[in-house]
Chain A
Amino acid sequence: MELVSRLLGGFFNLFEPLFRAGQRWLGFSRLGWLFVAPNLIVFGLFTFLPIVINFVYATTGGVKLYPFDRPFTGMENFGILFECRDYFDIRTCRKDVFWRAMINTAQFSVIQVTLMVGFSLVTALVLNRKIIGRGFWRGVFFYPVLLSPVVVALIWKWLLQTQGVFNAGLVAAGSTPVNWLTEAHWAFSWTVFVSIWAHMGFYTLILLAGLQAIPKEMYEAAEMDAAPPWRTLTRITLPLLMPNLIVVLVLAMIRAVQIFDEVYVLTGGGPGSATTFIVQFIYQTGFAEQIHLYGLAAAASLVLAIGLMALTIVQLRITKASSAGQRAR
């Protein structure tokens, strides 16, 4: 304890003269810049500068890492990504894995988000009832949210392996074992299930907070009118929860489009490219394969960025519209 306070004191003394000098030099009101400077430097170096350089990568070719060593190729990277002989058959595309990843990501996002938000809504509605031990139950659904994606993937990989407990159950029931993670349809379904398992607690929490913000008087009024529970749900709860529900939908969508970690460890993108998603394509093109095609990876991440931007705009518009609607009400 003594040591910690000495350390902290030393740290304090280290910076005090710097800020005193800063105040003399900048004047009081501009001292704020000194306080935000570290933050801005980090953001500038690791967020804003990269945004700019990303365009440089996307429009240059070759395998060199340093932008000045890379020949300018214009839109060629995008051409490579999207070139197909027959657009109705992705096997004829030059980068068929990219198309596969796009389609997989779209399918995954729609299915996963629909199911997950559905389950989260049901769970939040149940938790919002008069339940004994609500804090405990909320924690039950929330716990997996805290686990690392790698741990989540390994837990399920262990259960789903050929010699695992799921197959033991099948054999005990007189059926034959299934290769859960090496049959395309099963592998895809399990990535959906595992990601729902890992993340639904987070959305349940947001929806529950929304439900608890609905004024009690609303329900009292409904009870006075002897409204059946179903009508209370569809006429009071759901409409008032709508803003939260939309935020949750878009947030979940933005996360789902960027799915990578869990799936990468669980299936490695396989079998074949059945569970390869767009971020994994970026990672593999830019970093994991023998030849690092930085330009192609950057171009693919710009495609992803456009998708995310569209989702964000949708979110902003809807939240604006719904808050305006609420004010009108």
Chain B
Amino acid sequence: MLKFLTRTRGRSRLDWTDWLSYAYLFVGLFTMFAPIIWLVMSSFKTESAISLFPPTFLPYSQKSVEVQGHDKPLPLYLTKDAQGNVRPMAQVRRIGIMATMVDPASPGEEIRVNINDRKPINEITFALGNYTELFGKFNFERYLWNSVFITVVATLLTLLINSMAAFALSKYQFRGQKAVFMLIIATLMIPPTIILVPVFLVINTVGLLNSLWGVILPAIATPTGVFLLRQYMLTIPDELLEAARMDHASEWRIYWRIILPLAAPALAVLAIFSVMWRWNDFLLPLIVLSKSEYFTLQLALNSFQGELNTQWHYLLAMTVITLIPVTLVFAFLQKYITTGIASAGVK
């Protein structure tokens, strides 16, 4: 085992710089993932457990039992009675510092003890209710649907119109082509943050305020997408197109049946990026969608956490759900993302 862990590539043994490197990496692993694991564990805590201080790592909550003669389950405590015997008992009620306890085995007999003489019995329970109660209770399915709708529709449109532009810019020679390409690339230098007010005006004027389309349309043309796809399409041989034209294929058919299938790898990279941009988008939805029925998950999370009595057990569950799609993308498509970044330098 030790031999496996300490093996190196090429060299015979680990020297101190290797140990230092691995130490650094493990510190990194902890720093990057401990907060996320803590979040996930916390999201399974019950409402009462989540407000406990100091917090525990595992989601503990107090055990409770059904006792005959009481319609609700009663919380269990390890109780020291008058004789000094310690046994688990359920609490019927508590007044001041005195609690009335009952033995679940013999429901008839009740005793009164000082609350310092009893200790709660905890067990590990995963409060799945935090997740299931989101649906129905907070209009959560609405937010989820809005986010999914925006992400899917915007990604499809992004793929379509950017690949069309990339096709024209890579496979045609027309007057003004260079200028169009430069113009599109130049928009890379204009981040949305500096044209926030006029973009709001345009969206308002075309009547898309408080509409999911108002979030979808303004960003479906992306210079990154055009650039990425154009570079890829340049590698598709022109002979293929010529052959198709010989057979009297229309230009749209050439684009749809030849170029798009061949550009699939680049389209996949753009699709992944688009999904992440859209799913995580915040500033544009924030100014366009002000009615809560149009909120995306990100907006819902933001407005939830801003409320006075933040219900952390629901908020954390919602946060975990929001990071699931991105985590799946990361787990299965990491390679595409890293190549995308390496080749286009974009995020």
Binding site for B on A (CB under 8 A): 12, 15-16, 18-20, 23, 28-36, 38-40, 42-43, 45-54, 56-57, 65-67, 122-123, 126, 129-132, 135, 137-151, 154-159, 163-165, 167-168, 171-172, 197, 201-202, 205-206, 209, 229, 247, 251, 254, 258, 260-261, 264-265, 268, 279, 282-283, 286-287, 294, 297-298, 301-302, 304-305, 308-309, 312
Q: Are B164 and A265 in contact (CB under 8 A)?
A: no
**Chain B interface, DSSP helix/strand/loop, else mixed:** helix
Find chain A residues with CB under 8 A from B315 CB.
154
Nearest chain B CB to A69's CB is how many angstroms away? 11
Task: Say yes or no: A46 contacts B197, CB within 8 Å.
Answer: no
| Docked CA distance A255–B38 (Å) | 28
B324 to chain A, nearest CB (A): 10
Give chain A residues whose Cβ lies under 8 Å from the Cβ of B232.
none
Q: Are A126 and B24 in contact (CB under 8 A)?
A: yes
Known: A197-B31, A286-B196. 20 other contacts (CB 8 A): A19-B251, A20-B250, A31-B174, A48-B187, A53-B201, A54-B197, A56-B198, A57-B198, A126-B25, A130-B11, A139-B330, A146-B327, A146-B330, A146-B337, A148-B323, A150-B298, A158-B312, A163-B55, A164-B55, A287-B200
A148 lies within 8 A of B198 (CB): no
Q: Are A197 and B193 in contact (CB under 8 A)?
A: no
Give the residues in chain A near B219, CB-CB below 8 Å. 46
Q: Tell me, in angstroms, the Cα distance from A283 to B282 when the chains sit together.
A: 12
Top-9 shortest CB links A-B: A148-B280, A35-B168, A50-B198, A32-B172, A53-B198, A19-B252, A168-B54, A42-B221, A32-B168
- Cα distance, A142 to B33, chains bound together (Å): 11
Instruction: Considering the complex, give the chain A residue whose CB is closest to the CB of B42.
Output: A158
B286-297 Cβ-contact flags toward A at 8 Å (1 or 0): 110000000000
Q: How many whole Å from B160's CB to the nearest CB in chain A?
A: 8
Q: Which residue of A lies closest to B343 (CB)?
A: A209
Closest to B24 in A: A126
A151–B341 Cα gap in the complex (Å)? 22
* Chain A residues near B168 (CB-CB < 8 A): 31-36
Interface size on B, residues (CB 8 A): 99
Contact status of A247 and B252, CB under 8 A, knowing A126-B21, A163-B51, A265-B305: no
Tell me how far the C-beta of A308 lies from the nearest C-beta in chain B, rounded to whole angstroms.
7
Interface centre among A35, A145, A258 (most CB of B within 10 A): A35
- B67 contacts the other chain (CB 8 A): no
A146 touches B326 (CB 8 A): yes
Please give the distance in Å from A41's CB to the nearest CB on chain B.
8
A14 closest partner in B (C-beta)? B252
Q: Is B279 an interface residue (CB 8 A)?
A: yes
Contact between B338 and A138, CB atoms less than 8 A apart: yes
Mind listing 12 A-B residue pairs with CB under 8 Å?
A12-B256, A19-B252, A34-B168, A46-B202, A47-B190, A53-B201, A129-B18, A155-B35, A159-B35, A163-B51, A297-B197, A308-B189
Residues of B within 8 A of A35 (CB): 164-165, 167-168, 172, 255
Chain B residue numbers with a CB within 8 Å of A38 are: 160-161, 164-165, 221
> Nearest-CB distance from A104 to chain B (Å)?
16
In Å, the complex CA distance between A161 and B173 comes to 60
- Contact of A45 with B202 at beta-carbon distance under 8 Å, contacts A39-B165, A308-B194 already known: yes
Of the residues B176, B276, B341, contact of A205 by C-beta under 8 Å: B341
A215 to chain B, nearest CB (A): 17
B183 to chain A, nearest CB (A): 7
Q: Is the CB of A157 within 8 A of B221?
A: no
Residue of B nearest to A157 (CB): B305
Q: How many Å from the CB of B7 to the closest CB on chain A?
A: 7
Whether B36 is near chain A, meaning CB under 8 Å from some CB there, is: yes
Which one of B195, B220, B221, B322 contacts A50 once the chains associate, using CB atoms below 8 Å?
Answer: B195
**Are B39 and A23 in contact, with the CB atoms below 8 A?**
no
Q: Chain B 20-57 against A: per-residue CB contact (8 Å), 1 yes, 0 no?
A: 01101100110111011011001000000001011100
Q: Decide if B191 is an interface residue (CB 8 Å cutoff).
A: yes
Query: B177-196: contact bitstring with A at CB < 8 Å (1 yes, 0 no)?
Result: 10010011001011101111
Instruction: Evaluate contact between B177 and A32: CB separation under 8 angstroms.
Output: yes
Which residue of chain A is the closest to B312 with respect to CB atoms? A158
Choose from A49, A131, A141 the contact partner of B32 (Cβ within 8 Å).
A141
CB B5 to nearest CB in A, in angstroms, measures 8
Contact status A287-B287, CB under 8 Å = yes
- With A16-B250, A149-B280, A304-B194 as given contacts, are A49 and B25 in contact (CB-CB < 8 Å)? no
Min C-beta distance of A171 to chain B, whole Å:
6
Contact across chains for B17 and A229 when beta carbons are under 8 A apart:
yes
**A residues in contact with B187, CB < 8 Å:** 43, 47-48
Tell me the bound Cα distance from A134 to B44 in angstroms.
Answer: 32
Q: Distance (Å) between the CB of A155 and the closest chain B CB?
A: 5
Question: Across the interface, do B191 and A308 meet the contact criterion of CB distance under 8 Å?
Answer: yes
Q: Which residues of B contact A51 (CB under 8 A)?
A: 190, 195, 198
Contact of A260 with B283 in the complex, beta carbons under 8 Å = yes
> How near does chain A come to B13, taking the closest CB pair, in angstroms?
12
**Contact status A36-B180, CB under 8 Å:** yes
Nearest Cβ in chain B — how far from A297, in angstroms? Answer: 5
Asked whether B305 lies within 8 Å of A42 as measured between CB atoms, the reply is no
Most buried by B among A48, A50, A305: A50
Tell whether, in the assembled complex, residue A151 and residue B28 are in contact, meaning their CB atoms are under 8 Å apart.
no
Nearest residue (CB) in B for A18 is B252
B302 A150 Cβ-Cβ under 8 A: yes
What residues of chain A lie closer than 8 Å to B177, measured between beta carbons? 32
